[in-house]
Homo-oligomer: A and B are copies of this chain.
Amino acid sequence: MAAIDTNSLSAVENPAELYDGANVLVTGGLGFLGSNLGFALAAAGASVTLVDSLLPQYGGNPHNIEGIQGKVAVSYTDVRDSYAMAYLISRHDFIFNFAGQVSHRDSIDDPLTDLEINTSASLNLLELVRKNNPGASVVYAGTRQVYGRPEYLPVDEKHPLHPTDANGISNLAAEMYHGMYAELHGIRATSLRMTNTYGPRQRLAGTTQAFVPIFVRKAFRDETITIYGDGNQRRDFVYVTDAVDAFLRAGRCADAVGKIMNLGHPDPMGLKDFADLLCEVVGTGRVALAPWPPDYEKIDIGDYYGSFELASKTLAWRPTVGVKDGLTRTIEFYRPRIAEYM
């Protein structure tokens, strides 16, 4: 299945249709991003294998594929398992590499596991692609964390790289390996740097992951959402279907190979405004401001929003869902099945 160029992509409304009949492997496939991608691909007639080892505390959740069971294959495989991964990679031409440890706090408490899962496993995956299926397309889910505290806004891809925690470092190294495999070995590898992504199928339990799911959980429980600082820290929020759209475009795009591109949203929003809106949509919960705890302040990055001009140009992509609409759809999803995500 030949890659297509940016021009052809710009005429595509639903990029999932570009995968009709294709063999697609998604690591972290029972997680937030992976399962949403799985839904889009299954609906479009792709032959999908979702890989997940359901590590406790991570994002994998068997409930995430309710509605597509039987339409996708699931392999309960640890991405660090070279033999199983070699076989899977040899049989799939599109690989979405989403498996990862995403908690900032956990990465600081146990940085070696973070490095192993985020970097070593990704590097191993790339080696397996090089040896077993060098024509495969690989798209990595990178993160805005590689920039650290913004020196200017919006942050573009030329911004200095200064991750403030172990998770940012392990992700950056993994992303750089993807770039290197493209440059040096001709592998069709791409990375998209995600910013705050939200929507259905995100794990709401735990205290160590991203703030959006914590906010959602607290709102549902009618608890107080505590925001550190003045609450005006701005972020760009990307609804998960928009993110999935970008990844689908990247996997099929010849012009994306070797590129590392920000995702983003044109309307950044303050954290307090976001949380207030969330409570309004849920109908419960409230927001309070509090001073920064010292340990957290060290890894806080202040305002962040990114320029996604490169992704727009390369992938003919732009986000279509605003925060109000996205939160409404998110809460509609969780309301009848909230117990499965807490």
Residues of A within 8 A of B (CB): 108, 111-112, 115-116, 119-120, 123-124, 127, 158, 160-161, 163-166, 169-170, 172-173, 176-177, 180, 183-184, 298-299
Known contacts A112-B120, A112-B124; A177 and B184 CB within 8 A of each other: no
Q: A299 contacts B184, CB within 8 Å?
A: yes
Q: B123 contacts A112, CB within 8 Å?
A: yes
Known contacts A119-B115, A127-B112; A172 and B165 CB within 8 A of each other: no
Separation of A112 and B173 alpha carbons in the complex (Å): 12
Q: B127 contacts A177, CB within 8 Å?
A: no
> Which residue from chain B places its CB closest to the CB of A170 in the assembled complex?
B173
- Measured between beta carbons, the chain B residues less than 8 angstroms from A298 are 183-184
- Measured between beta carbons, the chain B residues less than 8 angstroms from A165 are 180, 184
Q: Which residue in B111, B160, B166, B173 is a CB contact (below 8 Å) of A169?
A: B173
- Measured between beta carbons, the chain B residues less than 8 angstroms from A112 are 120, 123-124, 127
Q: Which residue in B124, B160, B161, B177 is a CB contact (below 8 Å) of A166?
A: B177
Separation of A173 and B114 alpha carbons in the complex (Å): 13
> Which residue from chain B places its CB closest to the CB of A124 in the assembled complex?
B112
> Which residue from chain B places its CB closest to the CB of A108 in the assembled complex?
B184
Q: Which residue in B111, B116, B161, B170 is a CB contact (below 8 Å) of A127?
A: B111
- Measured between beta carbons, the chain B residues less than 8 angstroms from A124 are 112
- Measured between beta carbons, the chain B residues less than 8 angstroms from A161 are 161
Known contacts A180-B165, A180-B166; A119 and B173 CB within 8 A of each other: yes
